[in-house]
Chain A
Amino acid sequence: MNYVSVVSPWRLVTLLFFFAACALALVLRLAFLQVIQHGDFVQRAEASHWDQLTLQAPRGTIKDRDGNALAIGITTWEISLNPSQLKTDKDRDQAVSAVGEALKMSAASIRQKLDKSDGKRPVLVAEKVTYDAGRALLEKGVWGVSAQERTERSYPEGNLAGVLLGFLGRDGLGVTGIEMDYDRELAGVPGTLVFERDVVGAPIPLGYRSVTQPKDGGDLYLTIDRQIQRVVERELQDAVTRQKAEGGSAIIMDPKTGAILAMASRPTFDLLAPNLSDPKSTELFRNRAITDLYEPGSTFKVMTMSSAINEGLVTPETTYVDGGPVIKYGAAINTWDGMHFGRESMTDLLVHSNNVGAVWVSDQLGKDRFYQYLDKFGLGQLTNVGLSGEAQGQVSKPGAENWWPINLSTNAFGQGLNATPLQMITAVTAVVNGGTLMRPYIIDRIETAGVTRTFQPVEVRRVISENTSKQLRDMMKTVSVQATPLSQVPGYNVGVKTGTATIPSAGGYEPDATIASIVGFLPYEQPRAVILVKIDRPKNSPWGSQVAAPVFSNIARELLIYWRIPPTEPGKIARVESR
């Protein structure tokens, strides 16, 4: 007997509708994904398909005038362990042992760092690891060890010119000094690599790739000479220590060009480990030779005298009578030592550093001409040396609210106005070099990818005549011989003027503190360097002729030997204790 199976039509229809509904749902879902969300998914696909890397541009090197590196960029590694990948003791032991062996670290110290971690984030176990050591560790391919490349600065000459060079922050950008001021030139331009990535993020060899090559940072050649800088820093530090002084600055400038051959200031900081967290330490980062203002004192008489001679009001032989303290607008102005010399010449005025005489000279000049010359010498103006933080200086002029007639008298011997050491040496350079104010500069050239940008000396203006300049050089030589024996260099002729300035405080001047300074040039016959030394608040002696003059002499002697300048009077060369 045959049975015919009869399927209920409603069940078939239901099944048909069910499949149709499923098919429709799929179609709608597909349409939603592929049509409505098309753009979003394309974006997501591209994001997972494409990748971009920043190609770091190597930072340029800072070199001295002869191409000796002062700050050079090197690649180092930061080595980390990833606790999340080191779950088994075996993995952990292997990673610790590999890192310890490669970096010469004790396993215990690495374990200690790992134990302190939260177990999720990578633990930094070593930084500033040398390129070779880090590379060797990475090539071992140890599980759980990762490395981050970093660019560090290496200082082959140690702390030499530290304040001038400045340092980099953790982001690789300059924080202070030349590193900051010339960050754009040194940093270069990073490149980019856009590529198709595989599942692990590596570039697909046959995939699309677009590379914008990084542009290397430029090499900066300074006008600084490392030998001279070393001598200056050593002598300055010795003087500051010997005199128990609070600090000091020293600058050497080429009088013909305005190129700065050395620039140093004390106190300073450790370039290899600058402390950014302590506000007292951050005080040390500034370049005091360009940022700190001081009343120059008697060194300023050089400018007063050259102005008067250039105006034809006096000659080195002109005499006046120093008959005792001079009363000006109710105030008595006296000589620094209370001594008075009767009739004396302008040269003797400088030799005795006579304040009364300086007042007499300023009276001859009158306020208009006196301040015109200060303008010409660039006082109260930025020198535009090309370094940030330069102070402008304060010179009150007739007509200003804070100018009083007595200012003309006090300004004549360098009190009642202030300037930076750089402004002072720039002004004196104009006196020494034949009368032309040069713009000081410290960057000699920048070399970037075969293109060299050279900085040429800039003549700002003529201040005094050649003849006046010659007369002032003669007078400064006489000052060295007759008044400042400690500034002399046996066998050579030099010219100097010292200064001992009191320090202004609220309502007057500090009774016991001074700034001892000297400014001079060498050799007398054909000046090749102008030197300024300033010692702040020396304790053993307050006088520039005793505190700053020996520093000048030591630096000058080393310079003359370094430049192989033969002595004018070889017979006078004594046995010198050189260091």
Chain B
Amino acid sequence: MINDTLARTQALALRKPTWLGRELIAFASLLVLGTALLLAQTSMVASTGYKVDGLEGTKERLLRENRTLEAEVASLRSLSRVDKEARERLKMETPKSYVYLTVDALPKHPTPLLKKALGQGIETPTQATAEPWWQPLVSLVVRIKGGS
């Protein structure tokens, strides 16, 4: 009696799963996979959300820093600071007299300062300066990297 029961149990255990069993396993696997995907996606979205929050915070911080820097630039450009720097560091003095020269024509070779005074800007060098020996190599590397 006992032997029969054992034999039947072993036979059941060794028997291949039926079609219903396979479906159930597949369904369960899909369910697990789907849940895992959903979890992964949710986790990614949450993580991205935190990153976005962080970046927004960084943006705000940078904007504030930008304004602080603007204030710093303005204070460095202030008249009192420029005056102080000119007098103390560069040892400059306010001119005691002014000489005005009336001229009929510009000199042949006007100085950059004169050009600037006439609103023509600083003279740019007309002759190309010689390239350093390594410049062609750098250009070559840049061209290769750029794919051209």
Contacts and interface: CB of A to CB of B under 8 A. Distances in A.
Contacts of B94: 578-579
A205 B98 contact: no
A206 B45 contact: yes
Nearest to B64: A75
Interface stretch (A4-12, A258-266, A308-316, A567-575): A567-575
Contact of A131 (B46, B68, B80, B96): B68
Interface in B133-147: none
A69 B70 contact: yes
A162 interface: no
Given A68-B74, A75-B67, A226 B79 contact: yes
Contacts of B70: 61, 69, 72
Contact of B74 (A58, A156, A205, A578): A156
Which interface class (under 10, 10 to 19, 20 to 34, 35 or more) fits A? 35 or more
A401 interface: no
A233 to B, nearest CB: 11
Nearest to A567: B100
Contact of B75 (A135, A156, A491): A156
A373 to B, nearest CB: 40
Nearest to A70: B74
A73 B67 contact: yes
B122 interface: no
A208 to B, nearest CB: 12
Interface string B92-126: 00111111101000000000000001000000000
The A interface is mostly helix, strand or loop, or mixed, namely loop
Interface in B53-95: 53, 61, 63-65, 67-68, 70-71, 74-75, 77-80, 94-95
Given A157-B78, A226-B79, A573 B97 contact: yes
A139 to B, nearest CB: 10
A561 interface: yes
Interface string B18-61: 00000000000000000000000010011011101100000001
A157 B64 contact: no
Contacts of B78: 156-158
A566 interface: yes
Contact of B71 (A132, A135, A156, A564): A156
A539 interface: no
Nearest to A154: B71
A532 to B, nearest CB: 23
A577 interface: yes
A575 B97 contact: yes
Contact of A130 (B46, B61, B68, B75): B68
A154 B75 contact: yes
Contacts of A434: none
A341 B71 CA distance: 61
A449 interface: no
Contacts of B50: 205
A147 interface: no
A69 B73 CA distance: 9
Contact of A58 (B46, B48, B67, B75): B67
Contacts of B80: 157-158
A72 B96 contact: no
Contacts of B77: 68, 156
B71 to A, nearest CB: 4
Nearest to A202: B53
B67 A576 contact: no
Nearest to A560: B98
A229 to B, nearest CB: 9
Most buried by B among A226, A227, A570: A570
Interface of B: 42, 45-46, 48-50, 52-53, 61, 63-65, 67-68, 70-71, 74-75, 77-80, 94-100, 102, 117
14 contacts: A131-B65, A154-B71, A157-B79, A203-B53, A205-B45, A205-B50, A205-B52, A206-B49, A227-B79, A230-B79, A561-B98, A564-B117, A573-B97, A573-B100
Interface of A: 58, 61, 68-69, 72-75, 130-132, 135, 154, 156-158, 160, 203, 205-206, 226-227, 230, 491, 561, 564, 566-567, 570, 573-579
